[in-house]
Amino acid sequence: MVSIDENTMIKLVRSTTVPITLNSFCKGFLKELQEECGYEVLAVSSHGEDLDEIKEREGIRIIGVDMERHISPIKDLKSLYNMWKVIRKEKPDIVHSMTPKAGLITMVASWLARVPVRIHTFTGLVFPTSSGLKRHILMFTDRLTCACATHIIPEGEGVKSDLLNNHITKKEIRVLGHGNIRGIDLNYYNPELFIKNKSDDYFTFVLVGRIVGDKGINELIDAFIILNDEYPQTKLILVGPEEPLLDPLRSDTEAIINSHPSINTVGPQEDVRPFYAEADALVFPSYREGFPNVVIEAGAMGLPSIVTDINGSREIIIEGENGTIIPSKDTDALYKAMKRFVENPEDVLRMAKNARPLIASRYEQSYVRNCLKDFYNEVLLEKGLIKNV
């Protein structure tokens, strides 16, 4: 790996719309970039406790620039102006953004400020599941983000295909490694740290994620009710927050979740590992993803998965080896897949044994991070900002 000369201080800005994303996805990595790789790292995101936590834990500078997650033209223009002021003052060599709104604002501001290296990572695309005017607006903003970036990293091959097939950009883009931007800490997500508390009398499914329509929760509840009527010794654990104002569930779905004795809702959790340890399989019927970390986490914890045929999920799961892939928004297909898992425990056990080794071979955290470090070095060499040492 190319190292940055100690006499060359490369300033790197990492930005996300909200700081919880940066705090989660780059935990420990920003410190590593600054202390071990020789970068001067600056984190820019909306104000919040997570931004302060990043400063303390990573030992880097932070700057708050408030950004709205949703379309808000007046606030977005204000955010753009504030971001441009920060970047013009800081004069970074690299600006690297994640998440849609931060990507748009940061890339436009960095282009206006003539930053030499402008990188945006697409962790997921919203427009493929949108329609009408909203879809056109989202496609336009993604095109503008790409136009202002010098380098584009799609988190997975599915995201790459969507960008190219929908003519969002004509620039050369490539997936780093096997995809995914965070990687998995296999020492943390280790099933051996937990007492085996699965009950042989019950087959337990777990879902980790937002409890909203976009995650396929309506279909999941419909499928589970049919399954549970046939096999009463099945359970479903739902781990995650509700967002009723943004993406509400059907009223009948909410009623079933709140009353059914075989469905356990535990809300958002800082540590989801005990719920993986309690389950026999992950069920993740999401409509869209960039590259779902939940499926990687579950695999690292030794769980096979039922996932929908969407970006990211189809790249992590190999049919019949560490899980199964079904059509999105298909209650019947979901029910049949869950039923197969319940009726074929030997197949489930075989897939469970495959799950952790497959994840370890492709998404181990240091490998994923080294792929990004190598990419930084490559583009810096291209721009003549560093030399081989």
Shared-domain flag, residues 336 and 346: yes
| pLDDT at residue 389, as a whole number | 55
Whole-structure pTM value = 0.87
Tens digits of residue pLDDT in 114-159: 999 999 999 888 888 788 999 999 999 999 999 999 999 999 999 9
> pLDDT category, 6, cuts 50, 70, 90?
low
Shared-domain flag, residues 146 and 256: no
Domains identified in the chain, total number = 2
- Provide, rounded to the nearest whole percent, the portion of the chain with pLDDT above 70: 97
Shared-domain flag, residues 248 and 316: yes
Inter-residue contact 41 to 30 (CB < 8 Å):
yes
Shared-domain flag, residues 226 and 303: yes
| pLDDT at residue 385, as a whole number | 87
Inter-residue contact 350 to 280 (CB < 8 Å):
no
Q: Which two tokens stand for residue 324?
A: 């199964």
Shared-domain flag, residues 121 and 223: no
Q: Which two tokens stand for residue 262?
A: 């075989």
CB atoms < 10 A from the CB of 255, how many? 12
If you search the block for the tokens 């993604």, which residue do you land on?
A: 142
More confident residue, 298 or 5: 298
In a domain, residue 236? The reply is yes
- Provide, rounded to the nearest whole percent, the portion of the chain with pLDDT above 90: 87
Amino acid (one-letter) located at 146 = C
Q: Considering only CA atoms, which of 206, 186, 192 is closest in space to residue 276? A: 206
Q: Which residues contact 204 (CB under 8 A, 6 or more apart)?
A: 198, 234, 235, 236, 237, 278, 279, 280, 281
Strand partners, 44: 15, 63
Distance in angstroms (rounded) separating the CA atoms of residues 291 and 179: 8
**For residue 288, which phi and psi values (nearest 5 degrees)?**
-155, 145
Rounded to whole angstroms, what are the CA distances from 94 to 89, 148, 157, 207? Answer: 14, 13, 24, 37
> pLDDT category, 187, cuts 50, 70, 90?
very high
Shared-domain flag, residues 258 and 294: yes
Shared-domain flag, residues 222 and 338: yes
| pLDDT at residue 74, as a whole number | 95
Would you list the DSSP string of 95-125? EEEESHHHHHHHHHHHHHTT-SEEEEEE---
**For residue 155, which phi and psi values (nearest 5 degrees)?**
-70, -20
> pLDDT category, 253, cuts 50, 70, 90?
very high
Shared-domain flag, residues 143 and 233: no
Q: Which two tokens stand for residue 84?
A: 């441009």
Tens digits of residue pLDDT in 190-235: 999 998 666 678 999 999 999 999 999 999 999 999 999 999 999 9
In a domain, residue 2? The reply is no
Domain that holds residue 143: 10-183+365-382
Q: What is the mean pLDDT of residues 334-356?
A: 98
Helical spans, DSSP H, in 129-281:
132-148, 157-165, 217-230, 251-259, 273-278
Amino acid (one-letter) located at 70 = H
| H or E element at residue 235 | strand 234-239
Q: What is the mean pLDDT of residues 304-309?
A: 98
| pLDDT at residue 290, as a whole number | 83
Q: Please say if the pLDDT value at position 2 is more than 50.
A: no
| pLDDT at residue 1, as a whole number | 42
Q: Please say if the pLDDT value at position 106 is more than 80.
A: yes
Q: Please say if the pLDDT value at position 270 is more than 80.
A: yes
Average pLDDT, the chain: 94
| pLDDT at residue 128, as a whole number | 86
Distance in angstroms (rounded) separating the CA atoms of residues 263 and 198: 16
Lowest mean pLDDT among 8-12, 172-176, 322-326: 8-12
| Region of 371 on the Ramachandran plot (φ > 0 left; ψ -120 to 50 alpha; else beta) | alpha
∠222-219-268 over CA atoms, to 5°?
100
| pLDDT at residue 319, as a whole number | 97
In a domain, residue 98? The reply is yes
Q: Considering only CA atoms, which of 104, 84, 82 is closest in space to residue 149? A: 104
Q: Please say if the pLDDT value at position 3 is more than 60.
A: no
Amino acid (one-letter) located at 300 = A
| CATH code for position 136 | 3.40.50.2000
> pLDDT category, 388, cuts 50, 70, 90?
confident
Shared-domain flag, residues 210 and 148: no
Shared-domain flag, residues 18 and 32: yes
In a domain, residue 388? The reply is no
Shared-domain flag, residues 152 and 233: no
Distance in angstroms (rounded) separating the CA atoms of residues 217 and 202: 21
Distance in angstroms (rounded) separating the CA atoms of residues 334 and 336: 5
Shared-domain flag, residues 233 and 315: yes
Distance of CA 152 to the CA centre of its chain: 16
